[in-house]
């Protein structure tokens, strides 16, 4: 039975509205029940998106780590190079050991990553700030999204290139031009017949690390890394530097970058660290890696599209994917 108050209005209990505990709905049996509040549904959706974001970032990190395994296996001396012999009287491995290198390892790594990485960072920040570039990736901040995509692609190429280089060094085991000098032996001291193959030799060099390094000639890591970083930066300038005021500025900068890479490789021949074929192979490998990353992994040469900011168009693609960049 309905009850009426003093004003004659019904006093049936009312279900809470959407601003309260929930919204009243009726099921098939005619009974009312309370649905989840809108705030809880939004929180669950945000939590699901955040979880997917973390998974995609973790996947990118795993890919970088897997690509770096051969590189760290060589650098940490976890795997020793193949012990290749030599022919008695071979003059290609009799060059002296030069203590001071023209381009040390530290300068090569710091220069290659710093020059290319800093240029990419400045270029992407400029595009976001002054050209209003937007991204459809899951990263909300446009600056972080663009930097994550381009720098992530560049670093992935570094890992792949150096892993290929170190894998070749370990599996081939070609002797460097200064091998006999590092090993501290001569053909006369080992008493071998000219033209005979010497499969094993006992070095007099107490520094075992130097002897191991003398077996990693093929192919040149300096040439490979320098060509990759400088040529990749040249590709980046081709895609991003669109100023038409000076037509020769961009090709001049690209020429300088390529010349730096070539000089780095040639210096390894002058330092008696590599044979000419080692340097040439390093140039080819670094150039092919730069081309592959720039045109097939990075989004720098992808055509621009008009931004679609509708909620259904937002993609959770990984920033390293070629499908998530709007420009």
- Catalytic residue annotation: 222, 274
What sign does the CA torsion over 73, 232, 122, 299 have?
Answer: negative
Helix (H) or strand (E) run with residue 33 in it:
strand 32-34
What sign does the CA torsion over 275, 290, 158, 162 have?
Answer: negative
Query: Rounded to 5 degrees, what are φ and ψ at 3?
Result: -110, 145
Q: 148: burial class by Cβ within 10 Å (0-12, 13-18, 19+)?
A: buried
Tokens representing residue 9 in the block:
């209005």
CA-to-CA dists, residue 21 to 15, 33, 38, 42, 123, angstroms: 9, 11, 10, 15, 50
Q: How far apart are CA 232 and CA 230, in angstroms?
A: 5
Angle between helices 249-270 and 221-240 (to 10 degrees): 180
Q: How far apart are CA 151 and CA 123, in angstroms?
A: 11
Tokens representing residue 5 in the block:
């108050």
Report the half-sphere exposure of 185 (CA within 13 A, side-chain side): 22
């Amino acid at each position: 039975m309905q009850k009426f108050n003093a004003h004659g209005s019904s006093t049936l209990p009312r279900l809470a509205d959407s601003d309260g505990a929930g919204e009243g709905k009726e099921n098939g049996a005619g009974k009312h029940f309370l649905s989840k509040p809108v705030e809880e549904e939004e929180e669950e959706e945000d939590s699901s998106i955040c979880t997917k974001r973390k998974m995609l970032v973790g996947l990118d990190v795993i890919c970088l780590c897997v690509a770096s395994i051969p590189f760290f296996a060589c650098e940490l001396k976890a795997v020793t190079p193949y012990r290749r012999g030599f022919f008695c009287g071979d003059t290609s491995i009799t060059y002296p050991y030069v203590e001071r290198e023209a381009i040390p390892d530290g300068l090569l790594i710091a220069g290659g990553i710093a020059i290319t990485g800093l240029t990419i960072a400045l270029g992407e920040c400029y595009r976001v700030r002054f050209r209003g570039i937007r991204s459809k990736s899951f990263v909300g901040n446009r600056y972080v999204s663009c930097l994550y995509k381009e720098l992530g692609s560049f670093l992935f190429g570094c890992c792949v290139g150096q892993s290929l280089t170190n894998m070749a060094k370990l599996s081939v085991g070609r002797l460097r031009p200064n091998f006999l000098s590092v090993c501290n032996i001569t053909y006369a001291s080992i008493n071998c017949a000219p033209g005979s193959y010497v499969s094993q030799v006992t070095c007099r060099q107490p520094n075992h690390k130097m002897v191991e390094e003398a077996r990693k000639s093929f192919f040149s890591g300096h040439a490979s890394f320098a060509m990759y970083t400088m040529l990749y930066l040249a590709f980046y300038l081709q895609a991003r530097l669109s100023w038409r005021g000076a037509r020769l500025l961009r090709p001049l900068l690209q020429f300088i970058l390529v010349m730096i890479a070539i000089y780095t490789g040639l210096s390894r021949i002058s330092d008696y660290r590599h044979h000419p074929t080692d340097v040439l192979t390093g140039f080819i490998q670094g150039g092919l890696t730069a081309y592959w990353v720039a045109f097939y992994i990075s989004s720098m040469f992808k055509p621009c599209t008009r931004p679609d900011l509708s909620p259904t168009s937002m993609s959770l693609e990984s920033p390293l994917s070629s499908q998530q960049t709007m420009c």
